[in-house]
Amino acid sequence: MTYSTSASIHRFHDELAISAGSGETVYLNAKAARELHKAIGKVCRSIEGEPFGESAGLTVQGIAARTIDEPARCYRVIRQYESGQSYTIKSGLTLSQAREHCRGPETSSKTCETAAAKRRTAQLGPWFICYDHIKGVK
């Protein structure tokens, strides 16, 4: 098979940039790039080790990425309490990093599973984790 287009990857600041043909460039943080690397390895093993008809349509989804339309702004992750108090947990993050931090059961008093998070809820009341753009910082 001959290919008529090319794909490229390169480092862009603290992200991995991927482009293919005339499509838009997609940016991944280091964690997402590792997830993509793992997924590519899985697909390659399938290509090399089994006929397509037996591959069960291998698809990997949910790898966090951003496009150039999402500016590389600076974000912070916040723990917001029902009382109105809020605390910055992490700052200086990309949008992808902030979104990744806000996934999973430990991001809300309703879904948390660890003893520390349950103690926090008992002491300070209901809470959730969110992110926002740090105004004036890029």
138 residues of the chain, pLDDT tens digit each: 666 678 888 877 788 888 877 777 788 888 888 988 988 888 888 888 888 777 666 676 767 776 665 555 688 899 999 888 899 998 888 888 888 888 888 889 999 999 999 999 999 999 999 888 876 555
Q: Are residues 52 and 16 in the same domain?
A: yes
Q: CA-to-CA distance for 43 and 48, rounded, in angstroms?
A: 9
Q: Backbone phi, then psi, for 71, in 5-degree steps?
A: -55, 150
**Residue 100: inside a domain:** yes
Q: Are residues 60 and 79 in the same domain?
A: no
Q: Are residues 129 and 79 in the same domain?
A: yes
Instruction: Tell me which residue of 130, 18, 21, 27 sits closest to 71, measured CA to CA.
Output: 27
Q: Are residues 11 and 52 in the same domain?
A: yes
Q: Are residues 82 and 59 in the same domain?
A: no
Q: Are residues 11 and 57 in the same domain?
A: yes
**Residue 27: inside a domain:** yes
Q: CA-to-CA distance for 132 and 21, rounded, in angstroms?
A: 33
Instruction: Tell me which residue of 79, 67, 51, 58 sits closest to 19, measured CA to CA.
Output: 67
Residue range(s) defining the domain that contains residue 43 = 7-67
**Residue 30: inside a domain:** yes
Residue with tokens 């309703």: 110
Question: How many folded domains does the chain comprise?
Answer: 2
**Residue 2: inside a domain:** no
Q: Are 84 and 5 in contact (CB under 8 A)?
A: no
Q: Are residues 91 and 62 in the same domain?
A: no
Of the residues 67, 86, 106, the one at which a domain ends:
67
91 residue type, one letter: S
**Residue 138: inside a domain:** no
Of the residues 29, 44, 67, the one at which a domain ends:
67
Q: Are residues 83 and 127 in the same domain?
A: yes
Q: Are residues 28 and 11 in the same domain?
A: yes
Q: Backbone phi, then psi, for 108, in 5-degree steps?
A: -155, 145
Where helices occur in 1-138 by DSSP H, the ranges are 30-49, 95-101, 115-124
